[in-house]
Amino acid sequence: MTNIKVIIPAYNEEDSIALVIKDIPNIVSEIIVIDNNSTDATPINAKNAGATVLSETRKGYGYACLKGMEYIANQSTKPDIIVFLDGDFSDYPEELTKIVAPIIDNNIDFVVGSRVKELREKNSMTPQQVFGNWLATTLMKLFFGAKFTDLGPFRAIKYQKLLDLNMQDKTYGWTIEMQLKSIKQKLTYIEVPVNYKKRIGVSKVSGTIKGTIFAGIKILGWIFKYSFKK
């Protein structure tokens, strides 16, 4: 049986985190929520919903993901697949089976859930998110011949392949770093169309001007950094 673990970075998601956990299919062996310095009941609600809760006080999506990976690295039994998922209930956690299927059935290394327009609830992505995704994936196609259409946070990757990527980014660049390194290391990858709805609460990235600007700088920085790497 395939051992699948889920990593969910969460910051002030008290109204949504239990809903996310509840809808994750039971094929998962462990749900790991990393509380990223929340000031609300996020960690309590996550624990009550059945998740393993870790604390990462350094704010940043990448910091939280790395904390989850550090925890898994210290376990005696290692997973086959890691799934990353947001804690805001904008994704449909039950679609996890669809995300991991190409890895289990076809030995694909890396799967990104693509928030295609046809499956997106109206206004679930801000105009800056839509534009940012288009710009980043267009540049990736131009510089690296990549076939990505989205930087979607709902994604699955073989555990050993994830380790091989040697992920570094501590904040907004985590998703783009994973995709760029996957291309560079010639991982097999595929996108799976996923449904997407309006998140519960306010986005810490696209919901603020500061977050949008910093995310944009980080994403473009990774692309240009890798375009000059041999």
The whole-angstrom separation of Cα 181 and Cα 204 is 25
Q: What is the DSSP letter of 208?
A: S
Tens of pLDDT along 46-84? 999 999 999 999 999 999 999 999 999 999 999 999 999
Confidence (pLDDT) at 91: 96
- H or E segment to which residue 108 belongs: none
pTM, 2 dp: 0.91
Residues of the chain short of pLDDT 70, as ranges, are 202-212, 214-215, 227-230
Cα–Cα nearest to 179, from 130, 146, 218? 146
Confidence (pLDDT) at 133: 86
Q: Are 180 and 222 in contact, with CB atoms under 8 Å apart? A: yes
Confidence (pLDDT) at 229: 63
Confidence (pLDDT) at 210: 64
